[in-house]
A and B are shown apart, each in its own frame.
Chain A
C-alpha cells in the first residue's frame, strides 16, 4: 500500500460540493505536483487531507500509512506524520517562532529535546532558508512579510520532518529570490528519501529547480490528467486550456 491512498474523495464546503471522486496514491519519497487554474479546488484537497473541520468529506476514503484517517482531527494526522505548509499562515501573538517549533516537536514526538541540539539544528535550517536569525525570537508570523511567512512554513517542514507534506501555494506572492530560497528548502526536505510531497501550485516557477515524479491536473474539482514531471513543462508552455479549463 502506498503511503497515502485517496479513493473517490468528495469534499463539500458549506454544503456545496467542491471535489468530486478524487483518487490519488502517493508513495514514500515521491514528489507529486497538483496543478490547475484558480478555483479548481486544489487548496480544498490540501485542507481536506490535513483535516480542516470546515471541509466536509461526504464520500470516499483517506488512508495514511495504512491507517484510516478520514475522521481523525488535524493534530492526530500531524502526529501520524502529515504536514501542511499554509497558503496564508496565521499570526499567533505571544509565542515565538522558536518556542512554537520546539513545542510542536515535543507534542508530536512526546519526547523532550535537548535545547542545545535544537538550537543548532534550527540555526542550520534557517541558514538554508536565508532566514535572518532574529526571526526565531519574534512572535509566530506576527508582522512577517509574505516571504518571511513562507520561509517560516518551510522551516517548520524541515524541523518537524514529516513523512508527507502538502505545500499549498507556497510560491504564491513571492519574488524570484524568495522562490529560489524556498525551493532550496524543499530540496533539502527531498534529501530525506522517505519524505513524500504534494506540491499544490498554479504556476510552474517553483518547480523549475525541483525533481517531480508525478503531475496531476485538477479542473473544476476533478482530476482530468495525470502524468510525470514532463507534464509540468507542457502546462508551462500551453496552459490549462486543453484540459477544458
Chain B
C-alpha cells in the first residue's frame, strides 16, 4: 500500500472575509503615514483635552527614536508610510442597534455579535475601524454602578480624571516602538470601571473589526476593577483579507484591586495580512486574581505576550492560551509574569499548533523578585506540528531571585501521531475528521476555559483550519 501523505488546505475564511462595497464619502480618514500634522489632526477630530494632544506628540517623538524590534518575527513588510492611522464612519456612535448604519450592522450580525449580546452578555461595544459604532450596557449592570463606555466619552466627560490617572501608566510609550505608536495615534476602545464589591455576573464584551484596507487599529482598553469586585471581559477581533498590510497595535491596561478578580478572554482571528503588535498588561493588588484566556488564530505576524504584575501579597495569575499558525503565519505569542508580592502564584498553560508551513513560537518571561517569598510559579507549554514543513519553537525565560519559591516548568513538542490517526480511522472516521478530533482534543483544556459560544467558535475555527485533508 502506498504511503499516504495528507495535506491540509488553507482555511476557508469566507465567514470573516465578507465586506461591503463602501462609498469613500461615507468615511473620514487621515492620510497615510505618520507626521505631527496627522497626530494633531486625529487629536482635533477626537476633541482631545490639551494634555492628551501633548501626550500624543511626545509619544510620536519616542516612536521616532525607538528601533523596530529585531528579536522576533520579521515585520519588514509593514511600512508605516502606507498605513492609515485613523478611519471613522461619518455616523456617530449609537446606543440602539437599529440606528447603526446597515452595512456595519450587517457585518456584526454576520459575526453573531447582537445574538451574543441578547443571550449571554451584560454589555457590548462594537468598534468598526477606528471608532466604536455601537455601545450598549444592560440596565441592571448600570444600576450596580458599573461604567462601561467608549474611551472618547470617558476622556472628554466626567471620567477624565480617572483616565488621566491610569492611561498608559502600565504600558508607557517608552515600553517599545509600537506602544509609542499607540500613544500617538490611539483611538476607540473601551473604558470599564467596576465599583468596590460589585460582582458583574455576566461578561462584558468588545468586538473589534478592522474593515478598511491598509488601515491600522489602535484601540485602547482600560479596565479598573475595584476592591473585592469581579468582572469577566471578552474581546473578539476580526478583519477581511486585503492584499495590503494592515496593522493592529492596540493596548490593554488592567488594574485589578485588592481581592478583586478579572478574567480577560480573547478570541483573535485577524485576517492573514494583519500585523498584530498588541500590548496587554495587568497589575494585581493584594489578594487579587487575574485570569487570561487567549486564542490566537489569525494575523500574518503576531507579537503578543500579555503581562501580569503580581504586586500585592497573595495575588494570583493564570494564563491559558492557544495559538494556531497556518500557511504564511508567524505567530510569536506567550506571557510575561512579574511576581513582587509574597505568596504570589502564577500558572501559564499554553498550546500551540502549526501546520502548512506556519511558524509558532511560545515565548515566556517569568520573573520572581527577591521579596516574593513563598511564591509559586508553573509554566507549561505544549506544541503540536501537523506536518514536516511547519515550525514550532519554545523560548521560556525565567529569572528567579529568591530561594524561597517553588517553580515548575514543562515543555512538550510533538507531531500528530500517525498511530492515533490510524486508531480513529479504524473506527470508520475519515483521516480529516480524525486529525480534527486530535487537534480539538489537544486544544480541549483551553476551550473549556471559554464561555460556551466562544468555545464553539474556537472549535469551528479548528474544524475550518483542518478541512481539506486529502487521504
Contacts and interface: CB of A to CB of B under 8 A. Distances in A.
B417 A90 contact: yes
A192 interface: no
A84 B423 CA distance: 9
Nearest to A74: B425
A93 B417 CA distance: 13
B430 A107 contact: yes
B426 A107 contact: no
**Which of B417, B427, B437, B444 neighbours the largest number of chain A CB atoms within 10 Å of its CB?**
B427
Interface in B427-471: 427-431, 433-434, 437-438, 440-444, 471
Contact of B422 (A52, A56, A92, A103): A52
A75 B425 contact: yes
A160 interface: yes
Interface residues on B, range: 20 to 34
Nearest to A73: B471
A89 B423 contact: yes
A94 B441 contact: yes
Interface residues of A, number: 33
Given A51-B1, A53-B3, A71-B1, A93 B418 contact: no
Interface string A57-97: 10000000000001101110111000110100110111100
A74 B374 CA distance: 54
A5 interface: no
Contacts of B422: 50-54, 74
Contacts of A205: none
A95 B471 contact: no
Contact of B427 (A70, A94, A104): A104
A70 B1 CA distance: 7
Nearest to B443: A94
Contacts of B438: 92
Contacts of B441: 92-95, 139
B426 A94 contact: no
A156 interface: yes
Contacts of A180: none
A220 interface: no
B158 interface: no
Contacts of B2: 71
Contact of B425 (A78, A139, A160): A78
B428 A75 contact: yes
Contacts of B444: 93-94
Nearest to B2: A71
**Which of B419, B424, B437, B440 neighbours the largest number of chain A CB atoms within 10 Å of its CB?**
B424
B4 interface: yes
A100 B430 CA distance: 13
A50 B429 CA distance: 13
B420 A90 contact: yes
A160 B427 CA distance: 8
A56 B4 CA distance: 11
Nearest to A92: B441
A186 to B, nearest CB: 18
A55 interface: yes
Contact of B430 (A50, A54, A75, A139): A75
A7 interface: no
Interface in B396-427: 417-420, 422-427
Contacts of B4: 53, 73
A18 B16 CA distance: 51
Interface string A13-54: 000000000000000000000000000000000000011111
Contacts of A138: none
Interface in B197-219: none
A53 B430 CA distance: 14
A77 B428 CA distance: 7
A107 B429 CA distance: 6
B424 to A, nearest CB: 7
A74 B1 contact: no
Given A73-B431, A107-B430, A107-B433, A92 B424 contact: yes
Contacts of B427: 75, 78, 83, 100, 104, 107-108, 156, 160
A189 B251 CA distance: 62
Contacts of B417: 90
A92 B441 CA distance: 7
A56 B1 contact: yes
A196 to B, nearest CB: 16
A114 B427 CA distance: 20
B437 A78 contact: no
Nearest to A55: B1
A109 B192 CA distance: 52
A77 to B, nearest CB: 8
A78 B429 CA distance: 8
Nearest to A79: B428
Nearest to B439: A94
B426 A84 contact: yes
A95 B444 CA distance: 9
Interface string B258-285: 0000000000000000000000000000
Given A84-B426, A107-B427, A107-B430, 9 more contacts: A51-B422, A54-B418, A70-B1, A71-B1, A73-B471, A77-B426, A78-B428, A95-B440, A156-B427
8 contacts: A50-B422, A53-B4, A71-B1, A73-B471, A75-B425, A90-B419, A104-B428, A107-B429
10 tightest A-B CB contacts, nearest first: A94-B441, A94-B444, A108-B428, A78-B428, A74-B425, A104-B427, A93-B441, A75-B425, A90-B423, A90-B420
